[in-house]
Chain A
Amino acid sequence: MSPRHFARINKIDPDELKMLKKRIDIAMAVIIFSTALLVTRLWYLQIYRGDEYIKLAEKNRIRIQEVAAPRGNLLDRTGAPIITSRPSFNVVWNREDAPNPDAVLKDLASILKEDISVLLDKIRAAAENPRFMLIRLKEDIDWDTLTTIENKHLSLPGVRIEVVPSRDYLYGDFASHLIGYIGEISPTELKANRYNKYQSGDQIGKQGIEKIFDKYLMGEKGRTYLEVDVHGFQQRQMQTQEPFPGNDLHLTLDIELQRAAEEAMGDKAGAVVVMEVNTGNLLVMCSTPLLPLQEFVGGIKTPVWNKLLHDPLNPLLNKTIQGQYPPGSVFKIVTALAAISEGVINQDTTFFCSGFINFGNRRFGCWKKGGHGTVNFHRALVESCDVYFYSVGQRLGIDNIAKYANSLGLGKKTGIELEHDKGGLIPSTAWKRQRYKDKWHEGETLSVAIGQGYVSTTPLQLCRMTAAVVNGGTLYRPQMVHKITTPDGKILKSFSPVSEGKIIGSEHSLALIREALVGVVHEPGGTAKVVRLPDVFIGGKTGTAQVVRLAQNEGLGEQAIPYKYRDHAWFTSFAPADKPEIAVTVLVEHGQHGGSAAGPVAKAVYKRYFELKSGKKTAPEEATSPVVPEEKEE
């Protein structure tokens, strides 16, 4: 083609060419500068800040799915399992897989036999969470529901089954106050420091041993690293770290004894504590009514909670450590120890009981209206003569009593590794001055001497006190775990008995008291004859704790007194009498009489204890003969 067809071609004028070259050079400079800028930027992004960006890219694509670890087991002192872990199946909802949520949720609701609004509420509650996070719609579904869902899974997009370890309570509500329960971590707990390893949705111990020993029981969560795309769809599984099960807790509790205690308590409200006198190990920690654990699974519902809260039997209270009651005549052990040790009386000192004593312008009655006549130390304890101890108390003075009571571990926390351990109260002149800005009145000493007035104690305190009195005077710290073992059986931690020191009080006085306490059970006139067993000698002390002294109740028949005004019944004891092994303390709320209400419970425990010891396994419990009320103490 010839250029002539278009236009005349002018060769560029050399001057102009020079100018053009100059401008091309400028253009080149612009291009070099721009390229340098781009390369610098590239260097900045890829080399200078590359490591940051690779982290961001990894964060984009890697999602960590956690697999809960099976929680450690709880075993009794013989190694028998009390609570184990098993897989449980939860129904979870994945918003990202659900193209048609309304229809699917409707179907699901009918399979789960739930109202659809319940499911919708749960989904709504999680609206703030990232979309890929699964929402738990129902926990621990049964096998039939599971198979139904699995069979229909194609028509239920968005519905998945999640397998999580769950607690298996082999004995139902057994020792439920002590053991506690587990539940989903709450938003407030998540903020607390001790839970910094946990995440929303985790199960943690909420109460009792489950809570206190949570860090041992929880195990280590497994992790699955998933690669996901921008829509959250799983691409492949990259790496899996198996969960590591939690450690096993070997409790000092004895299943058989605990069950015997729970059975013997029946529907009575109260507490049973059994302690090995020479170690402080607790074999029984029973508080009735038992905590209904099922209600707490998946969060307790408000109406149920309110019902439990207002139940006159106080099922929410762990009465062994939280229940503070006047010890009543059980406190005479303290007064007796103080009196003999301080020398204000000796074993032959007698007082005459006419049924009452006048002090100031007030009359202090003995529970036995007709009076005990002349009683010595031994008889006074055996028959629980109030007048004798009024007089002894008067001689001692309140501060002496308080000194001995404190030394026996009363009026302060026991140091048991549980929450809400209450200290009770031992009054003294100093206490009264501080608390009421008032001086101590001597008359008040009389009440305290028989365990009334300001005094209050917990069942665990009295059990430990009894153990100390009969084991030669050592006050042990109550313990409920004797060792913690790893899943492969290695001992991680073991707990040996911890002595909290010797009690004050002479050997001689302790011997006298022990002798008298055996008399309470085995001698005529003793207040706890009902507890007697054929082969074993048992020592003990009954007590009745006045709840209120109301004129309108005077003279009413026992059954006519409204439940909440009835007296509490105590019995604290030990056996065998010659070489004590265990101390058993029973409290029956509003049980009215230590001997008749609390005694049989202790008897059932001893019976089981010695059966087990002699190898007579699980003899069927014969029907307990109805207790014939003997002399009633006040």
Chain B
Amino acid sequence: MLRFDRRLLLNFDLVLLGAVLVVALIGLANLYSSTHLYTNVGVPLYFKELTYYLMGAAIILLIISCDYRVLLTLNYPLYALMILLLLFALVFGKNISGAQRWINLGFFRLQPSEPAKLILVITLASYYYRKDTGRGFGLLDLAIPALLTGLPFILIAKQPDLGTGLLLVFVFASMTIFVKLQRTTLATILCGGLAFIPIGWKFFLKPYQRQRVETFLNPENDPLGTGYHIIQSKIAVGSGRIIGKGYLQGTQGQLDFLPERHTDFAFSVWAEEWGFLGSFTLIICYFFMILWGLNIAISARDKFGVLLAFGVVSLIFWQAFINLAMVMGLLPVVGVPLPLFSYGGSSLLTNLAGLGILMNIRMRRFMGTS
């Protein structure tokens, strides 16, 4: 049944692959710098991350081998699986520092909120593709996609992981606006959203979450408590100056002043050791990858491809933007990793799968349509 089309190989997206490889290599080198001094872990983390990359490569191969339109049939089963995993994590999940985020699979600790991001993108793309009338969506039309987003949002926010939850909301908003809303709907949503902020602040945020935001607004108020992360990260980034302190020479990172330096604050380690030149280069890599993703979206052969590619791009963009803004002190500390750069198998595999979908769409842009 598998009849391989040679055109697929010819149209393979080498540009995106190249961009992914560059970021991956930088990320691995940086991970070595931030973790080589960890002595109490068995397998070195950079080695683990490399294995995840290999697993990711396999997943990409699997994804590009079938037409992305298969997702139109797989979307609801995937969605159901995601909800089940999230529920499972909430009930039986491994409790790490007060949050129930992980499911232990023995060889791998899965963080279901990561694949949930991508599955939501697939689900919304499928839904909007099917329901699109061309007239633009009204408020009532949005009830179902809002529900589809709301369910995982609640389950993730309950873990509690508000950062990932809000990321889902951003992705939902980006995709919804992209498929075209009626003007009145857009206005209503905007007003409703603004009205929700104070209510959400008061009733939905946990005290530690409120404190994080307050600390963000004024980190020097609590330099040793919750403000510590922001202050130390800003010191790490700032002290890199133009050319950085040199590879493995960053004092903030190597001497442990920087918290979470291999996960959420991986960029700070990079910025400290490679300075403005290195950081700028990395940001441009992401910038390029995302613009290229938009190019993939607009050149897709059908509207599902456009929506799906746009969804994946918005997912990568929002993660990158929130993480970078966070480590540079522009946003409060929320646990959003930098795609491909922060250590973590679930996040890496999810993002690689998303990039695999982009490659899939790209390589099938000329495939037969009727």
Contact = CB atoms under 8 A, between A and B. Distances in A.
Nearest to B4: A1
Contact of A52 (B238, B252, B280): B238
B88 interface: no
B73 interface: yes
Contacts of B177: 23
Nearest to B272: A57
A38 B287 CA distance: 11
A53 B235 contact: yes
B361 interface: no
Contacts of A34: 317, 321
Contacts of B46: none
A9 B301 contact: yes
A49 B329 CA distance: 14
A8 B72 CA distance: 11
Interface string A20-46: 110110011001101101110111011
Contacts of A10: 302-303, 369-370
Interface in B341-370: 367-370
Contact of B238 (A9, A23, A45): A45
B237 to A, nearest CB: 5
B69 A3 contact: yes
A53 B252 CA distance: 11
Interface stretch (A199-207, A222-230, A298-306): A222-230
A235 interface: yes
B191 interface: no
Nearest to B3: A1
Contact of B256 (A17, A21, A42, A229): A229
B279 interface: yes
A12 interface: yes
B105 to A, nearest CB: 29
A551 interface: no
Interface string B294-320: 100110011100100010011001000
B70 interface: yes
Max count, chain B CB within 10 A of own CB: residue among A20, A54, A58: A20
B66 to A, nearest CB: 6
Contacts of B276: 42-43, 46-47
B189 interface: no
A41 B268 CA distance: 13
A51 interface: yes
B271 A46 contact: yes
A46 B294 CA distance: 30
Nearest to A13: B134
Contacts, number: 161
A8 B174 CA distance: 26
Given A9-B302, A12-B306, A31-B290, A230 B240 contact: no
A51 B69 CA distance: 53
A60 B228 CA distance: 12
B241 A47 contact: yes
Given A11-B301, A20-B298, A50 B369 contact: no
B324 interface: yes
A436 interface: no
A51 B241 CA distance: 7
A143 interface: no
A545 B2 CA distance: 127
A19 interface: yes
Given A7-B69, A9-B302, A57 B252 contact: yes
B287 A31 contact: yes
A230 B294 contact: no
Interface in A130-185: none
A60 B255 CA distance: 9
Interface in B55-109: 66-67, 69-70, 72-73
B240 A46 contact: yes
Contacts of A39: 280, 283
A231 interface: yes
A128 to B, nearest CB: 15
A3 B235 contact: no
A35 to B, nearest CB: 5
B283 A42 contact: yes
Given A46-B240, A46-B276, A54-B239, A31 B317 contact: yes
B287 A46 contact: no
B172 to A, nearest CB: 15
A28 B178 CA distance: 12
Contacts of A19: 180
B291 interface: yes
A61 B178 CA distance: 49
A19 to B, nearest CB: 7
A42 B310 contact: no
Contacts of A32: 287
A16 interface: yes
Nearest to A45: B238
B364 to A, nearest CB: 9
B186 to A, nearest CB: 12
B35 interface: no
Interface string B33-65: 000000000000000000000000000000000
Max count, chain B CB within 10 A of own CB: residue among A5, A19, A45, A228: A45
Nearest to B180: A19
Interface string B1-40: 1110000000000000000000000000000000000000
A56 interface: yes
Contact of A42 (B235, B257, B286, B328): B328
A99 to B, nearest CB: 16
A47 B369 CA distance: 52
B219 interface: no
Contacts of B256: 229-231
Nearest to B255: A229
A324 to B, nearest CB: 57
Given A35-B287, A38-B321, A54 B238 contact: yes
A256 to B, nearest CB: 59
A101 to B, nearest CB: 22
Nearest to A49: B238
A24 B302 contact: no
A38 B67 CA distance: 36
B100 to A, nearest CB: 28
Contact of B367 (A3, A12, A42, A54): A3
A524 to B, nearest CB: 88
Contacts of A9: 69, 301-302, 368-370
A623 B321 CA distance: 97
A628 B251 CA distance: 84
A28 B296 CA distance: 13
B330 interface: yes
Given A27-B310, A42-B279, A46-B271, A1 B73 contact: no
Contacts of A7: 69, 72
Nearest to A35: B287
19 contacts: A1-B2, A3-B367, A3-B368, A28-B291, A31-B290, A31-B291, A37-B330, A42-B271, A42-B279, A42-B283, A42-B328, A47-B241, A53-B235, A53-B239, A56-B238, A60-B232, A228-B255, A231-B256, A235-B255
Given A3-B367, A6-B67, A38-B328, 4 more contacts: A1-B1, A38-B330, A47-B242, A57-B252
Interface of B: 1-3, 66-67, 69-70, 72-73, 134, 174, 177-178, 180, 232, 234-242, 251-252, 255-257, 271-272, 275-276, 279-280, 283-284, 286-287, 290-291, 294, 297-298, 301-303, 306, 310, 313-314, 317, 321, 324-325, 328-330, 367-370
